[in-house]
Amino acid sequence: MKLSELRRKLLERIDPVDVRIILRLATGLDDIHQITESQSEVSAEAEALAAETLERRLSGIPMAYITGEKEFYGHTFKVTEDTLIPRPDTETLVDAVIALSRRFSNPSILDLCTGSGAVAASVAAAISRPAALSDISAPALAVARENYRRITGQEPEWREGDLLEPWKGRKFDIIASNPPYLTEEWYEETDKDVKAEPSLAFIGGGSDGLELIRKIIAESRSCLSPGGWLVLECDYRQTEICGTLLRKAGFGDVTVLRDLAGKERVVYGRGLPQ
């Protein structure tokens, strides 16, 4: 079978972006060579691998889990089924942390609920300053540490545990978090790709999905340096209440940022003297 025929058969069942990735995995050819060598013969082994990969994708396995990697903030991150797949929405969180870090000469930064380590590694690489990271999931932390080392060339400071519990006694200028924040109802409405990721990374608890965020806000004051910032990602339907929660907890300069799709996505505030 020629490569062009294999591409045509794949396009009958799946979108062009996934087709290019499947062909790269099966044949080793990048996007350009898939075009220039479209009349080349595909080996039986490559054809079988393409068919197997297609069925895995159609079954609802995200392509990032199939390839084992995902692009985020100009870097390639390793991902496994133990980690949330980094999304473009979260680049807004990284932008916010980088901008706030410029207010400090030597900012100390914590990425809470780090998952794949995408936020910590992206920030550290951008500002050439270390970022600590933590997560309740040991397998996710192992992936995060690997990503951080590969992208920054440094070993991160890390701790395993529930939210800020492992950091008692420590102070940070910036605490950033993309925690679970979906309600169970919103989670049930997501597609099968999302449900292939760990539900622990999505469902935030409580009727409004904000149980974990409430805990983070409450715990963060003891871990923030004077004038330190708490930066949170949440759903666009939650930004108003998150802002209110921050103000009630004694945070000032509360600000909401929109993501690349124009939806409110990140809320942050500065800890005021207690």
Q: What is the pLDDT of residues 79-105, one digit of tens each?
A: 999 999 999 999 999 999 999 999 999
Banded pLDDT at 114 (limits 50, 70, 90): very high
Query: Is residue 274 pLDDT above 80, yes or no?
Result: no
Residues 97 and 123 in one domain: yes
How do residues 226-265 score in pLDDT, each as one tens digit? Answer: 999 999 999 999 999 999 999 999 999 999 999 999 999 9
- At CA 163, angle to CA 63 and CA 166, rounded to 5? 120
Mean pLDDT for 19-24 is 95
Mean pLDDT for 123-149 is 97
Residue 72: what pLDDT? 97
For residue 261, being part of any structural domain is answered with yes
Residues 16 and 82 in one domain: no
The domain that holds 230 is classified in CATH as 3.40.50.150
Query: Is residue 273 pLDDT above 80, yes or no?
Result: no
**pTM of the predicted model, to two decimals?**
0.93
Query: Is residue 127 pLDDT above 70, yes or no?
Result: yes
Q: 186 vs 63, 72, 200, CA distance in Å? A: 22, 24, 14
CA 82 to centroid of chain Cα atoms: 12
Positive or negative CA dihedral for 194, 199, 200, 205? positive
Residues 144 and 259 in one domain: yes
Residue 4: what pLDDT? 92
Residue 18: what pLDDT? 94
Domain range for 153: 72-271
* Rounded-to-integer distance, Cα 69 and Cα 85, Å: 9
Q: Which residue has the tokens 């932390």?
A: 141
Residues 168 and 223 in one domain: yes
Cross-strand partners of 94: none
Mean pLDDT for 26-35 is 92
Banded pLDDT at 14 (limits 50, 70, 90): very high
Residues 39 and 141 in one domain: no
How do residues 140-191 score in pLDDT, each as one tens digit? Answer: 999 999 999 999 999 999 999 999 999 999 999 999 999 999 999 999 999 8
